[in-house]
Amino acid sequence: MSLQEDIAVVTRVNGPVVTASGMGRACLGDQVEVGNEKLTGEIITLEHDVATIQVYEDTIGLKPGEPVVSRGEPLSAVLGPGLLKGIYDGIQRPLEKLREQSGVFLGRGLNVPAIDPDSTWDYEPALKPGARVAGNTILGRVQETALVKHAIMVPPGIEGELVWAAEAGNRRAGDPVARVATPAGEREVTMIQRWPIRRPRPVSRRLPPRVPMLTGQRVIDFFFPVARGGAAAIPGGFGTGKTVTQHQLAKWSDVDIIVYIGCGERGNEMTQVLEEFPALKDPRSGRPLMERTLLIANTSNMPVTAREASIYTGITMAEYYRDMGLHVAVMADSTSRWAEALREISGRLEQMPAEEGYPAYLASRVGEVYERAGRVEVVEPAGGAVREGSLTMVGAVSPPGGDFSEPVVTHTKRFVRAFWGLDRDLASARHFPSIHWNTSYSEYDVSAWYAERAELPWSELRRRATDLLKEDDRLQNIVKLIGPDALPDRQRVVLETARMIKEAFLQQGAFSAVDSYCPIEKQLGMMDVILSFHDGAQKALASGRPVFEIMSAPVVERIFRMKEEVGADQAADRLAQLKKQVSDSLAD
Ligand SMILES: Nc1ncnc2c1ncn2[C@@H]1O[C@H](COP(=O)(O)OP(=O)(O)OP(=O)(O)O)[C@@H](O)[C@H]1O
Ligand SMILES: [Mg+2]
């Protein structure tokens, strides 16, 4: 390659940031091989022939004078069948294979492809020669895992007539499955394509996110839903439940594919992910959850630069599955560690620091990440099929001291429309999930979906429950001053109903066999029971029943136990019965 004619050499090494001269022929964003060990890096600034390179591997031992070679393309993800079940590092190198090659301590300069071109797949073609094709047209399919059928698509940027299509049968991933006559000549397409990780994959059309991504977690689905294609943040201080919540979402969300990006800074957090995920079962199919999961693990022996790249690597793989017409959820735990990587790199570049040492471009980077979420329509050319896919982005944020006014949380708030604020006091009172109803919100309007699908009126139940929690909050301030006994009976019933909402409804044990997942019929049924207690209690008061008698009615205990006593099966019927018992007992 002509790029190698220039003698590009390392001139300075500053941790993971390296300067090289003689880079005149390279481009900003190019992937480069740095030094004798061919460490992977990326050009992040370019002035005349001087490039600043962030290197994704340990640079210990790297010296000025060693060669630098551009690979002539931006840092890209490899996309194709065989990605699922994979555990990758921040630049998509398969960790298992790296380990096989170099033992426990990851070697450097290892260039192991994310997809083995020699892997074989049973290919079923979907199109015949003569068809018009464009980017994302489905050429054929392979069964990637027992849970996922993988569509082999034309890479974006190729458009024209299909002149040759492979027949059904066993094929190597790296062999051509189609040839397309484009205005620029014939192009061969294999099962493997590449896409630059920092550039969003193109979409034909964006759809408004109006369909909820159901998570089976009551506080989320019922109070603060996220829509498929939406973006949500889980901010919380140390040990408040970010990781448990992300794992719950990964396990239970009604999506096809999970991309889990572990940006832990402590090694044991990552070990937890690496040990736990492969053991998780997909609750719906009973098969290993990994069959529809991609895991990115930023191991502690990789430099911060790899952590910075890992978010984009994960999102690019997620967009690829979205384009097949699948629903994908991306979890990043935690984006604060990613932002700290930005800060460290920026510091080494001697850029002017803004708030709390973060670079001034923190906000735009956060925005670029969350803006890759979306619900999209993929339109195939010439009256072909239309399919819908979505990418839902959920980022945990771990602000120091749990302070939500710190820069990463405030910038994240600008780009997400569901905010699940974890609360230290709730967590220490072992109220889990510790998502606080006062600091959390959702701006996703999924009411039309509920109105069409659910038996019970979600919007109405949610509004009433929200109002009761607000009134409770106000009353708690009075209770603090004068105690509950001084309140009028009507308000004491409000306190009791709010306690039910908090303890019987909002608290949900991630490790409970029955309650870890709560289907929406059960969620709505449970709230209907609680609100019917409230209505019945107010009526009973009005007809002269003493408040202590109402509160000690045996049905009250049953309300507190319903989440564990009523299983997912026939929850709606059983809760309707309980509701009747509640009303009857209060009407006696
Ligand atoms: N939904 C839940 N149900 C039951 N227990 C929970 C739940 N959420 C959190 N916990 C408890 O809180 C502990 C801490 O949770 P987790 O590890 O998720 O916190 P974190 O915010 O990720 O912490 P860190 O800041 O260290 O990353 C868990 O080990 C578990 O005991
Ligand atoms: Mg955690």
What is the architecture, at CATH level 2, of domain 118-191? Beta Barrel (2.40)
Rounded to an integer, the average pLDDT of 552-566 is 95
Tokens at 228, concatenated: 């498929």
Residue with tokens 């049953």: 558
| CB distance 238 to ligand 1 below 6 Å | yes
Distance 245 CA to ligand 1 centre (A): 7
CATH 1.10.1140.10 boundaries in the chain? 458-587
3-state SS of 341-389 is HHHHHHHHCCCCECHHHCECCHHHHHHHHHCCCEEEEEECCCCCCEEEE
How far apart are the CA of 266 and the centre of ligand 2, in A?
A: 9
Residues paired with 193 in a beta bridge: 79
pLDDT in the model for residue 273: 77
Q: Which of 243, 275, 516 to mutate to test the pocket of ligand 1 (most atoms within 8 A of CB)?
A: 243
Residue 1 has what pLDDT?
43
Residue 320's DSSP bridge partners are none
Ligand 2 (ion): residues with CB under 5 Å are 242-243
Residue 110: pLDDT over 80: no
- Dihedral of CA atoms 169, 175, 180, 185 in degrees, nearest 10, equals -160
Proximal ligand: closest to the CA of 235: 1
Q: Is 519 in the pocket of ligand 1 (CB under 6 A)?
A: no
Tell whether the model's pLDDT for residue 130 goes beyond 80. yes
pLDDT of residue 509: 96
Residue 510 beta carbon below 6 angstroms from any ligand 1 atom? yes
> What is the per-residue pLDDT for 103?
62
The DSSP bridge partners found for residue 394 are 232, 331
Mutation probe of ligand 1 site: the residue of 266, 422, 432 with most atoms within 8 A of C-beta: 432
Residues of the chain with CATH 2.40.30.20: 2-74
Q: How many CA atoms lie within 13 A of 97 on its CB side?
A: 15
Per DSSP, the residues of 128-176 read: -TT-EE-TT-EEEEEEEETTEEEEEEPPTT--EEEEEEPPSEEEETTSE
For the stretch 155-208, pLDDT in tens is: 999 999 999 999 999 999 999 999 999 999 999 999 999 999 999 999 989 999
Tell me what pLDDT residue 4 has: 46
User: Minimal CA–CA distance to 442: which of 140, 212, 173, 226?
Assistant: 226
The CA 244 to ligand 1 mean position distance, Å, reads: 5
Share of the chain above pLDDT 70, in %: 96
Ligand whose nearest atom lies closest to the CA of 245: 1
> Boundaries of CATH 2.40.50.100 in the chain?
118-191
2-74 is a CATH 2.40.30.20 domain? yes
Statement: residue 320 has pLDDT above 50: yes
Confidence of residue 548 (pLDDT cuts 50, 70, 90): very high
Coarse DSSP helix, strand, coil percentages of the chain, rounded to the nearest 5 percent: 35, 25, 35
Q: Does pLDDT of 124 surpass 80?
A: yes
Atom of ligand 1 nearest to the CA of 510: 3
Q: pTM above the 0.85 mark?
A: yes
CATH 3.40.50.300 domain span(s) along the chain: 205-446
Domain 458-587 class, CATH top level: mainly alpha
Question: What ligand has the least distance to the C-alpha of 400?
Answer: 1
pLDDT in tens, 459-512: 999 999 999 999 999 999 999 998 888 899 999 999 999 999 999 999 999 999
Residue nearest to atom 25 of ligand 1 (CA): 238
C-alpha of residue 377 to centroid of ligand 2, in Å: 34
Distance 163 CA to ligand 1 centre (A): 55
Is domain 205-446 annotated with CATH 3.40.50.300? yes
Tell me if 431 CB under 6 Å of ligand 1: no
The ligand whose atoms approach the alpha carbon of 515 most closely is: 1
pLDDT at 302: 74
Helices (H) and strands (E) in the chain, counts: 16, 26
pLDDT of residue 2: 45
**Mean pLDDT score of the chain, rounded to an integer?**
93
pLDDT at 3 over 50: no
How many Å lie between the centroid of ligand 2 and the Cα of residue 508?
18
Q: How far is the CA of 243 from the centre of ligand 2 (A)?
A: 4
- Measured between alpha carbons, how far is residue 357 from residues 7, 190, 350, 367, 493 in Å? 36, 45, 11, 19, 50
150: Cα within 13 Å, side-chain hemisphere: 23
Does the N-terminal peptide bond of residue 334 adopt cis geometry, omega within 30 degrees of 0? yes
Mean pLDDT of 363-392: 90
Ligand 1 atom with least separation from CA of 422: 21
Q: How far apart are CA 368 and CA 398, in angstroms?
A: 19
- pLDDT, position 106: 58
Residues in the chain: 588
Residue 100 binned pLDDT confidence (cut-offs 50, 70, 90): confident
Render pLDDT for 261-315 as a digit per residue (tens, 0 to 9): 998 756 666 777 778 888 888 888 889 999 999 999 886 667 889 999 999 999 9
* β pairing state of 418-419 and 231-235: parallel
Token digits for 446? 């999924």
